[in-house]
Structure 1
Amino acid sequence: MTKSNLLRMDNVGIVVESLDDAIAFFTEIGLSLEGRATIEGEWAGRVTGLDSQRVEIAMMVTPDGHSRLELSRFIDPSTVADHRVAPVNSLGYLRVMFTVDNIDELLTRLYKHGATLVGEVVQYENAYRLCYIRGNDGLLIGLAEQLGKK
């Protein structure tokens, strides 16, 4: 048996209603738009199992260049399920966590994009301040501010 050698994780994908709004929201967090394209055709459907599809995507990248977030807006076929209001303990539910410099300042900016705090900002020992927000399109986003290392 040959073992596969993992090289890296390329990206995490999130389906959104408005690509423009999602790009603006994640840009506010600090990601940059790396590229935007429409993916369509039978070849793409063979990868996803959706037959023929047409999807507009935007690839967002973190400042260090190591992590990417692929935002997708399905044109055809349309989306079939909505998990945005599922609580954090739902099976298969996705949450993306970002480490930030200043949670309070970032929250003030994200509220202007419609973000809402899920619980509250809490401190874990002397290591982190953490919170969950519902961001653009109701997506669950985690924010972590490392303490003692500025």
Structure 2
Amino acid sequence: MTKNKLPQMHNVGIVVESLDEAISFFAELGLKLEGRSTVEGEWAGRVTGLGHQSVEIAMMVTPDGHSRLELSRFLTPSTIADHRKAPVNALGYLRVMFTVNDIDDTLKRLYKLEAELVGEVVRYEDLYRLCYIRGPGGLLIGLAEQLGNRSATDI
């Protein structure tokens, strides 16, 4: 392997208000809880630059085992900013998008967990049906149902 090649992406981190609600939501979407613990101590604060911290985390993994979400709920220090209601053209990290087998069934199940459709479900050519939803605590999540034989890397 070439030294400067990236072997894989490990996870995407999302700070949440309620870890239990976020775990339930992403489990309903199809992710599996890989582990849950509290991370604290001087070493953790050196990594994040926050100093002393105590963070409850849950690692969720996709069914294929290749992608993970690290859900974090800060006990100390408390959160200081809230970007959840930023519009889709705001700078910075925006959303996580998941491929689903049936977007209508997925929405029906997530509505029971208080998910809200942001705009509407739209069709992109003959390839995908797509939508954005607001999940637990207002998190922006994208859903994509593949219609054609091409993958997202083909477009």
Q: Same fold per TM (> 0.5)?
A: yes
CA distance in 1, matches of 2:143, 2:4: 32
Greater Cα shift, 40-49 or 87-96:
87-96
Shift of 1:3: 6.2
CA distance in 2, matches of 1:134, 1:105: 16
Task: Supply the AA of the counterpart residue of 1:68.
Answer: R
* Alignment deviations for residues 75-122 of structure 1 (CA, whole Å, 9 cap, x no partner): 000000001100111000320000000000010110111110000000
5+ residue gaps, structure 1, are: none
5+ residue gaps, structure 2, are: 150-155
Name the counterpart of 1:90.
90
Shift of 1:148: 3.7
SS at match of 1:43: helix
CA distance in 1, matches of 2:148, 2:95: 25
* Alignment deviations for residues 60-83 of structure 1 (CA, whole Å, 9 cap, x no partner): 000000000000000000000001
Give yes or no for the alignment of 1:23 onto 2:26: no
What's the TM-score once normalised by structure 1's chain length? 0.96
Name the counterpart of 1:50.
50
CA distance in 1, matches of 2:5, 2:148: 36
SS at match of 2:78: coil
* Alignment deviations for residues 35-71 of structure 1 (CA, whole Å, 9 cap, x no partner): 0010000100000000010000000000000000000
Shift of 1:5: 2.4
Shift of 1:6: 1.0
CA distance in 1, matches of 2:144, 2:77: 36
Name the counterpart of 1:130.
130
What's the TM-score once normalised by structure 2's chain length? 0.93
CA distance in 1, matches of 2:25, 2:6: 31
* Alignment deviations for residues 2-22 of structure 1 (CA, whole Å, 9 cap, x no partner): 963211100000000000000
Structure 1 residue ranges, 4+ long, deviating more than 2 angstroms after superposition: 2-5
CA distance in 2, matches of 1:5, 1:41: 32
CA distance in 2, matches of 1:3, 1:37: 33
Give yes or no for the alignment of 1:8 onto 2:8: yes
Alpha carbons 1:83, 1:93 under 8 Å: kept: no
Name the counterpart of 1:106.
106
